[in-house]
Amino acid sequence: GNKNFTVERLTGGFVNWVGRVTIDDDKVPSKPAEMPQTSWNGARSVIAKYATPYIFTAGPAAPFSILRQTIEARSLALFASTPFTNAAVPNTLSGVPAEQPAIRVPRLLFHDSQTHVLLQEDLGTLPSLGDWLVQVPSPSEEATRRLGTAVGTFLATIHKRTRDPAQELRTLFANEDAVEFVVREVISPLRKDFALAGLDGANLCNFLEQQWRQGPGHNLESFCHGDLWHASVLVAKDEQYAALIDWEFAGVKTIGSDLAQCTAFLKMLAQSPKTPASAPVVSFNSSMLQAYQTTLGHELSTSPELQAKLKLLFGLNLANAATWHPWCDCAKVAEHHCEHVLGGVREAARWIQIAMYEAEGHAGDWFDTA
């Protein structure tokens, strides 16, 4: 019969409308009539996502294909313990969550590409990784190292298992609109920011766009999260696991690209004057990098081809991180004129230039210097 629901919009949603749907009455349906092929498995709430044909918080001025929601549904289905019939995706990575209980991926419960609605497991009201790392009092070094190690190991595991993926996976996760979105919304605006920092923005951005469109080549590709930063990782209240959410940008990308993005944002977080103590951020990040490199293996992680790609991607993401998020309260931060922003942009440019020219003395290991 009809059920009463409470809908609460969640403020963390940037790309989509995101809310928590809670059943109000005492009887919890195992399969609500309004949601065929869906089982809440006794849960009283789910997370609902509604996709608009643009970035939800930016409006029609920032168009973005709703294919992103199908990409997220397919991503979550990869980790499902049993194949999810609606997604038509093999559960290639189904064994990974069981092997690594310190990492959670939300279960896909329902997806309708016609109404653009996705329902997933509600993991509860958990702090983001960024909020957890800067809380007062700070999390313990043991906790930051343990969860950093868990995230790094998890990412390296899925990257190794999907290295040079089969054509089926490539087709399922092909999303040319996401490629163009990054060019339009991330790379192109950096021309002005590089110029503000006294750099050749046209040359740097032309190289970034060329490399972004070109990709790394099959042998250096794997299935990746695609948008991993400190807001797309949640931390359990008991600090026993971290959860990776927001898989809209997932796809076949450069091995290690998730690390390049997450590390760039964590670097800015550690340097932010708003951060009470940088030690927890540095501890988590260094543990994540070390575990990733160890799990991925020395031969692949130190290959010159992959190192060059990681330097480039780290530079791109550092520039994006520096200009996208208000890391300080300086009067000129909104115009990207303050030294906190410009310092990040200049360091980002240095990494991009290293990738461009492989300058003598700059060919060190990215994992050791990021």
**184 with 64: CB under 8 angstroms?**
no
Mean pLDDT across the stretch 277-292?
98
pLDDT reported for residue 360: 42
Q: Which pLDDT band holds residue 204 (cuts at 50, 70, 90)? A: very high
Contact residues for 129 (Cβ-Cβ < 8 A; gap 6+): 230, 231, 233, 234, 235, 242, 284
pLDDT reported for residue 336: 72
326 vs 234, which has greater pLDDT? 234
Give the CA count within 13 Å in the CB-facing half-sphere of 134: 17
Residue type, 298: H
**262 with 229: CB under 8 angstroms?**
yes
pLDDT digit string (tens) for 59-101?
999 999 999 999 999 999 999 887 766 556 878 899 999 899 9
Task: Name the H helices within the chain.
Answer: 67-78, 95-99, 129-133, 141-161, 167-172, 176-182, 190-196, 201-214, 257-271, 279-296, 298-301, 304-324, 339-357, 366-369
pLDDT digit string (tens) for 126-145?
999 999 999 999 999 999 99
* pTM of the predicted model as reported, rounded to 2 decimal places: 0.91
**138 with 282: CB under 8 angstroms?**
no
Q: Which pLDDT band holds residue 361 (cuts at 50, 70, 90)? A: very low
- Over 50: is that where the pLDDT of 33 sits? no
Q: Indicate left, alpha or beta for 88 from its phi (over 0: left) and psi (-120 to 50: alpha).
A: left
- Over 80: is that where the pLDDT of 358 sits? no
pLDDT digit string (tens) for 208-263?
999 999 877 878 999 999 999 999 999 999 999 999 999 999 999 999 999 999 99
- Over 60: is that where the pLDDT of 283 sits? yes
Mean pLDDT of the chain: 89
